[in-house]
Structure 1
Amino acid sequence: MDSLITAYYISGIIVAFCAIIALSQIIIGKKQLVFNEENRKKEQQRDMVKCTAEQVAFLSKDVVSAHDKLYNVLKPEDISLLQEENLTISNNSISIKKGITLNDEERTKIVNARREAVDFYNNLEIFSSYFVMKIADENIAFHLIGEDFCRMLKPYLALYLIIEGKKNKDNAVFKLFLLWHSKLETLKLTKEKRKLEEALKKMTERTFSL
């Protein structure tokens, strides 16, 4: 009888011991999963930063080169359609004012520049796709070359709107432009607000010192 009781207690200890081992294995497994997920996120972040650096270099070299070639054969200031006042840009859309017409000379210039225009646009499309698809970090890139991207593209927006037609809403180039243009406008307004606040502060200080 005593041996049976002893065996019962021993078996209970063994079961408890096995349960503790099983629980520890579960905890270790969960920690390993968390560790693996953290490593995956870090690796993904490193890849995004690397890709962002590559695209910044691509814009600085290839996109700028394509833009300069296009500008040499088609200057926006010479084409009525490409004048900034004929373009309407909001937070989620870009449109051309109605009633804009081209004369024969302007049409000829656009036709003669079609190869350079397509090359510039294709480079913009390659660049923009990485950020719209979140392969590269658009926020980092914006602070480095966001203003340059918008400055180069904006004068030719009307031309590409005509080329793309209704497809422009789903186009990476236009999506990235609208995003970065909106950010630039926000920064501009913030700077203007800060200047106004500083000017009012100085006026107030002068008033109290009189």
Structure 2
Amino acid sequence: MKKKVIYICIGILFFLVITYSIINYGEIVMVVKNFPNTTFRNILEMIDFLITPLLFIVTIMGLKEITVAKEISEVNAKREAFKLSAEQCIYYFENIIPKLDDIDKCFKENKITSIGEVKIKSTSEGIKASVKLDVSRCPEEIFRDITYVLNVIEGFSLYFISGVADERVAFSSVGRTYVNSMEMLLPIICSVQGSGYENVFKLYLLWKDRIDKQEALNQKIKLDKKMQEECFVTTKTIGF
């Protein structure tokens, strides 16, 4: 952070020096021409001759320092995003997954295979979800657990949707687990659409779409490989 401030100050200083020199360039030339001492006037003329390339060099150096400072800042930002992603993944494994396991256990004990149906479609106004919620077989205490864990997951998801943490790093670690868990709770998530769990829903859509594309690509690769293998199969004719 200190280096970044120093580089910015250097850049501002170079800019001020250049601006001042340009503004007072005409006055410097007049002083040189009217100076009575020939030797000293020659020195001033030489300085006047050198000032333009020197200012150019100083400007290039200043711009280079600013560019380096920007690159360092970007690298540090990425490093922090990766670090935060790793921390959030650890938090997900240690704190969120046990809560989701408890909910899943409660569902199995009460023989609940679904709590509703969700249809997601893309419209001109964005992604819309229509929900049919069926919680008639759910015990009341399970809603407290679901509400609690979804609030925690909302905070987790916010880091990645806001861009503070790198979601691609997290996806490789918890992406599929996250999507599978949220699909079971999706009817509740979508039933409050617009008033809560927006980041949970956005991260679910992002990672679900990526998983679907990866699976489609894998299927295509397998199909292409199978077709290539079939091309090498030849039929032997029976000779006489």
TM over 0.5: yes
After TM superposition, the structure 1 stretch with the greater mean CA deviation from structure 2, 183-192 or 119-128, is 119-128
Amino acid at match of 2:76: E
Please list, as runs of the form range in 1=range in 2, the aligned pairs for 1:74-113 lying within 5 A after superposition.
74-75=107-108, 78=112, 80-82=114-116, 86-90=117-121, 93=127, 95-96=129-130, 103=136, 106=137, 109-113=138-142
Q: Are the aligned partners of 1:52 and 1:141 in contact in 2 as well (CA < 8 Å)?
A: yes
| 1:51 is aligned to 2:51 | no
> 1:133 is matched with which residue?
162
> 1:166 is matched with which residue?
194
After TM superposition, the structure 1 stretch with the greater mean CA deviation from structure 2, 57-66 or 176-185, is 57-66
Consecutive unaligned residues in structure 1, runs of 5 or more: none
Q: CA deviation at 1:102?
A: 5.1
Cα gap change, 1:23/1:157 in structure 2, threshold over 3 Å: closer, same or farther?
A: same
Q: Are the aligned partners of 1:49 and 1:137 in contact in 2 as well (CA < 8 Å)?
A: yes
**TM-score when normalising by structure 2:** 0.72
- 3-state SS, counterpart of residue 167 of structure 1: coil
The CA RMSD measured in Å over matched residues stands at 2.6
Larger gyration radius, structure 1 or structure 2: 2
| 1:176 is aligned to 2:180 | no
Q: In structure 1, how many angstroms separate the alpha carbons of the residues matched to 2:90 and 2:77?
A: 20
Q: In structure 2, how many angstroms separate the alpha carbons of the residues matched to 1:102 and 1:177?
A: 22
Amino acid at match of 1:81: I
Percentage of pairs with the same residue? 21
Q: CA deviation at 1:153?
A: 1.1
**TM-score when normalising by structure 1:** 0.82
Consecutive unaligned residues in structure 2, runs of 5 or more: 1-35
Cα gap change, 1:94/1:157 in structure 2, threshold over 3 Å: closer, same or farther?
A: farther
> 1:34 is matched with which residue?
67
Number of residue pairs matched by the alignment: 198
- Relative to its length, the structure with more helix (as a share) is 1
- 3-state SS, counterpart of residue 163 of structure 2: coil
Q: CA deviation at 1:41?
A: 0.7
> 2:4 is matched with which residue?
none
Q: Are the aligned partners of 1:66 and 1:123 in contact in 2 as well (CA < 8 Å)?
A: no
Q: Are the aligned partners of 2:131 and 2:190 in contact in 1 as well (CA < 8 Å)?
A: no
Q: In structure 1, how many angstroms separate the alpha carbons of the residues matched to 2:233 and 2:226?
A: 11
Cα gap change, 1:208/1:45 in structure 2, threshold over 3 Å: closer, same or farther?
A: farther
Q: CA deviation at 1:19?
A: 2.7
| 1:62 is aligned to 2:95 | yes
Q: In structure 2, how many angstroms separate the alpha carbons of the residues matched to 1:36 and 1:26?
A: 15
